[in-house]
Structure formats: structure tokens, C-alpha cells
Chain A
Amino acid sequence: MILSKTTIKRAITTSVVTAVVTLGSTFAGLAQAQTLNGAGATFPEPLYQRYFNAIRKDFPDLQVNYQGIGSGGGIKQLTAGAVDFAGSDTAMTDAEAAKVDGGVVYVPTSGGPVAVVYNLPGVTNLKLSRKVLPAIFSGQITRWNDPRIAADNQGVNLPDQPIRLAVRADSSGTSYIFTNHLSAIDPYFKGRIGANKAPKWAGKPVSGKGNPGVAQIVKRTPGTIGYVEASFATTNKLQSALVQNKTGAYVAPTLQEANKALEAVEFNPDYRVTFSKLGDPGQGYPITGLTWIMVYKNYDQPAEADAVKKMVQWVLTKGQEINDDLGYTRIPTSVANRVIQTVSSTVDSSGVTSR
């Protein structure tokens, strides 16, 4: 009985402590300011983590939480109303946007090259031509010492090993940017796989979740080749292949080359772009994409709408300075200003009451 009494006491103490912690943090949260929850593309995730870490310092009453769950996931959760904004590398299609009550506004935030990363000890600056790259990813070239690869890389000692593809396990905008380019330059690839957020690859690829997952597989596994947003390649010291562009030059996935590629890109009035034009740019690094934040036109509460405006304004002005640091391209100032205008005039909390 004595034992049971102390146990009861212990049990009560434990539950009281738990309850206090739970309630305490709840009230602490209530006292705090507006929080925005976003989810989606992992392509800009390192950038967004920096954005929202910095924004907390500039606006102590604004907390933004962004989770990289893949572009497809972001769009799904925005449609379901489970997040306040979504990130995606493909922008939503009209059909997808139609499912959102009140509609969405597209906010381009940055762009960047998609690096083709590989792990072959001792091999640097691997060159991949416009014939070879699609052939590798459509399963036509399966070994590293294939003469077609060797032809572009004279004097490089390519191992007699199978080529392992490292791809995305989730639905991804990065996959779309990558396959969009390969489809634009190679009809066989277009017919066999096509431009897609969740392509069905040939062979038996290893897949990881998000850009981080793919980068980790390539980093840890000799013999693999994959594709990730370039900042994941540089921060992790992965080898990036030089990819041949339309002019025939072999270019590296640098910020400079990506800017060149995006120079010609024109934004539509709703700030989306026509992807067929992005597939094979005339100059610069050929596999380059843009990424968007999609916000609702209508929010439940005025405070939320204001927070969204504040966030967009910050991201497109002060935030853009961070883009350079991490190797992402900036959104041209003229476009950025127009986007800020659009957001501040169309986003509000009227109209639709229930999402």
C-alpha cells in the first residue's frame, strides 16, 4: 500500500509536470505573434531556412515555419488548406489553382541551377554531352566506361562499374526542371520518360526523399549519379558534371551561368513562366529553374493576410541579398516590385470564410 501511494504520487507529479509543460507552451505560443506555416519544395529549402531565421530577427512578432516536403506535397497541402503558403518549383497549373477557394498568387522568389552530381573517386569535371546525359537517365548507357562517355572525356580513367541513378522518392519540382530539360533535348527521353514531377525512371534507381536525400546517397555511394539543386552540391562538396548547352559549350552549374540562362526568361502577367521556353535556354547553364511561393488570395484572419504581405515584401527586398550568398539567382527588381504590388492589393481576409 505504501508503495502504491508513492507510485500514485509519482504518477500524479509526472502528469502535472506534463500538463504544465503542455499548457505552458500553449500559452507561451498564444502570447506570441503571428506564425505562418509553409511547406513544399526542398529546392529552395536552405535559402528559406535562412530567410525565415533572419525574418524572425527583423520582425520579432512574425514567425515563419517552412518544411521541405517536395513540390507536389506543398501543392497538395495548400489545396487541402493545411498550410498558409506553399513552395513549388513548377508553380501550380491552372487546374490545380482552380481547386483552391479564392485562388492563389504566385510569388517567384529565386532560381537556381540543377547540378548533375556524381561520385567517382578521382574523376573531376566529368563532361556530359547533350547525347550522353539523356541516354544515361533513360537507361541506354548503363556502365561508366561506356565509349560514348569516354568520347567526351579523353584521358579520364572511367571505372568498369554500373551507373547507379540516384533520384527523388517524392514528387519534386527539381525532377520536373531536370526532366523538362532532358525532354527538350532528346526525343527518346521525351517519349520514354517525359517531363514530370514524379517520373518513372528506367532501371533500378536508388531514391531518397528531397534534395537532401539524393545528395546524401550520392555523397555516400561511389558509382552514383543524380541531380540536386546546385547549392546542395557546393555545400556538400559533391562533384558536379559539366553539361553541354545549346551552343555546344560545357558549363558548370554556377550562379553566373544560371543568371545567363534566365536572362531571356519572360514572366507571364501572373508571374509564372512558360516551361517549354525554360527547357533549353540559348546560353548559360542549361538546366536552370525558378521557384515560387504560392499564397492564398483569401485568408481567414486579417492578421494572417498582413503577415503574408509582410513576408513577401521582406523576401523580395531584403531577402534577395541572401540569394547570392547561397548561390541562388535573384528575381529581377522590376518583377519583384510588381509582385509586391500584386500581393498587397489582392491578398486579404475578405470573401471566402472557410477554406
Chain B
Amino acid sequence: MIGRVLLGAAVLFLLAFLLTPTSFAWLFQPFTRNNAPAIYTQTPLWSLTLSHLALVGMAVVASTVIALVLAVLVTRPAGREFLPLARTVTAVGQTFPPVAVLALAVPIMGFGAGPTLVALFLYGLLPVFENALAGLTGQPPQVAEAARGMGLTPRQRLTQVDLPLALPVILGGMRLTAVISLGTATIGSTVAAKTLGEVIIAGLLSSNTAFVLQGGMVVGIIAVLLHEGFQTLERMAAARTGLNR
């Protein structure tokens, strides 16, 4: 109950701050020096937030689709031998620093949202892939036996039994990917992607702690909200299957 009230308060605060950032100037004034502006106004914060979210959304959808396809393929009898390869690819995607991806991608793709999208996509593959793998392989053996015994074809077993039962775990993977991407996307502004990182970088360049704080705060609050939203979805999906998390 208290959690819900806090979340509601966070949503209201975030909306109020994004729509009328200047009315919160008093809050950030203490963090400025030499009469520097307390609120970033070069680009409207709501516009940066929307493009930040759009970038993260696209990256999460892309990672999820590719990771799911990979996980389904390597759990089929014909694809089983590719499991170690797929694991390696997604693990490398996770360990390769996003900054390095940006540096490598800019010469090819130019400045803007493209390189950031690639970096986030690679970074987000692993959680969805590993969770989907766990969800698809960790089902009660009797259920799989019954599904075969009833005469479901392999495709029907995948779409009607395996994937619906794995849904809560897959959503868990998407939650991790979304939260990680949300934070990581800020570095996209070093290569001119429109993200909330722009505010943070402006703060760093001008030694204005207030800018850094407000950029970080908006990202942080959205991360918490995303996390809670996904967890609610996971709980609903898990309750529907009757499987305890």
C-alpha cells in the first residue's frame, strides 16, 4: 500500500517536473555555482525524455525479438547444437562495453540515434535470451509429456504451451533489459543521440551539478517505474499460470 502511494507520488512528481521544469528551480539552485542556470532549457526535458524512451523501447523490442528467436531455435531438437554458440554471442554482446560499440559504430553509421540503438540492442540480448532459455526448458516434465501425448505438433506445443508458460520469466528478462538500457542510453548523447544524457553531459561540461542531478533523477525515476510496471505484468502472468515464482 505504502509502495503504491510512493509510486503514485513519483509519477506525479515526474510529470510535474517534465511539464514545468522551471517551477522546480528552487530545488536545484543550491547545486549551482556562479549564478549558473538551475534548470536545463536548451531542449525541453519532456522532448528529451520521449526520444530517450523511444530509443530504449526500440532497442528492447529488437533485443527481445532476436533473443526470443534465438532461444526458441536452440531449444528445438535441430538447433540444440547451436546453444553454446548462441550463449557466447549474447554473452559477448553483454560484456562488450557500449561505449566501445558507439566508437566502432559511428564511423559506419554516422552520428545520431543509430549507433546508440546498436549498442543498446547488443547490451540487452543476454537477459532476455537467458531468461527465455530458462523458461522454455524449465517446465514441469508432465506438462510436456501430456502435450505430446495429446497429439500437439511441435509448433503447437511451442505456441500453446511452452511460450505461454515461459511468459513470466521472459517478462523478467525484458525488465532487466529495459532497466539496463534506460541507464545506458544516456551515453548515446556523446554521439548526438537525443537522450536525457544530453542534460547530464551539459552538466559535466559546464561543471553544473544541478544539470547532472536532474538528468540522473528523471532517468532514475523512470527506471523505478519501468521496473515496477514489468513486475506487475510478471505477477499477473504468473498468477494466471498458477506457477509460483
Is the A/B pair a real complex? no
List chain A positions with a Cβ less than 8 A from chain B.
none
B-side interface residues toward A, CB under 8 Å? none
